[in-house]
Amino acid sequence: MDFISYASSSEGNAYSLSDGKTRLLIEAGLPVRELKRRVGFGLSLFDGCLLTHEHGDHSKGVEGVMDAGVDCYMTGGTAGALGVSGHRVEVIRAGVQFDIGSWVVFPFTAVHDAAEPVGFLFYSRVEKKRFLFATDTQYLKYYFKGLAYIAIEANYSEVDVEEGDVDVEVKKRLLRNHMSVEAVGRMLQANDLDVLEAVFLLHLSDERADELLFKTELEKQTGVPVYICEKKGKTELRGL
């Protein structure tokens, strides 16, 4: 199984997930030319693209992805907010699973200031493993069993936001719409981690995230490797 981050920040987010048979693009938050450059091959080689929500840092390249002949999966709220339609738009609903090639995908509701945001639980029929993807959410409403890999937002530290010199409106938006490293820790404690192999931290803030501290603390908690996805560069994790 391969997981690649092409960008992971408020300026743009794009990731790929492959089990050797079906390759998925998760988020299309880069201009399509830049997305093509970072991917390094034709976008048409992706078997599908999934969007969590409509904000530009997750969706700005979606029309270019559709123009490349790739079906894009998103909720009706996200499609409506983006104003996209046509045969390349596959409308999905939280709580209703669907298939893309060898992947079974279960979308679940996220907590964010967007029209109809979701996260995704992936199950590979090839690898027989579950991969959780969650970003831009205040917390996770659900518990998950048998997770082998978790890719999750750790945008900030609650301690730094409460004690630091943070604008009141910025603080409100962070607390309501993004996941802190402490929330990630609570999520990990609440879920079944018996077969967990690795954690990938996404969407870290430039100002409010201590990468080394986040990595060290979560590795102590889980006993598995924790990887930081680069904000503006490519992070490749192959052969998982």
pLDDT per residue rounded down to tens, the chain (240 residues): 999 999 999 899 999 999 999 999 999 999 999 999 999 888 999 999 999 999 999 999 999 999 999 999 999 999 999 999 999 999 999 999 999 999 999 999 999 989 999 999 999 999 999 999 999 998 898 999 999 999 999 988 887 655 555 566 655 665 566 889 999 999 999 998 999 999 999 988 877 778 999 999 999 999 999 999 988 888 999 988
Both tokens assigned to 203? 């969407």
Q: Which of 46, 86, 92, 90 minimizes the C-alpha distance to 72?
A: 90
* DSSP bridge partners of 16: 4, 25
- The DSSP call for residue 227 is E
Q: Is-contact 50 38, C-beta < 8 A? A: no
How many CA within 13 A on the CB side of residue 82? 30
Rounded to two decimals, the pTM is: 0.93
Which structural domains are found in the chain, ordered by start? 2-237 (3.60.15.10)
Helix 181-190, helix 211-222: angle, nearest 10: 10
Task: Name the E strands within the chain.
Answer: 2-9, 12-18, 23-26, 48-50, 72-75, 89-92, 98-100, 103-109, 118-124, 129-134, 147-153, 198-202, 226-228, 235-237
88, 188, 173, 83: which is closest to 134 by C-alpha? Answer: 188
Residue pair 59/28 in contact (Cβ under 8 Å)? The answer is: yes
Closest alpha carbon to 74 in 97, 107, 102? 107
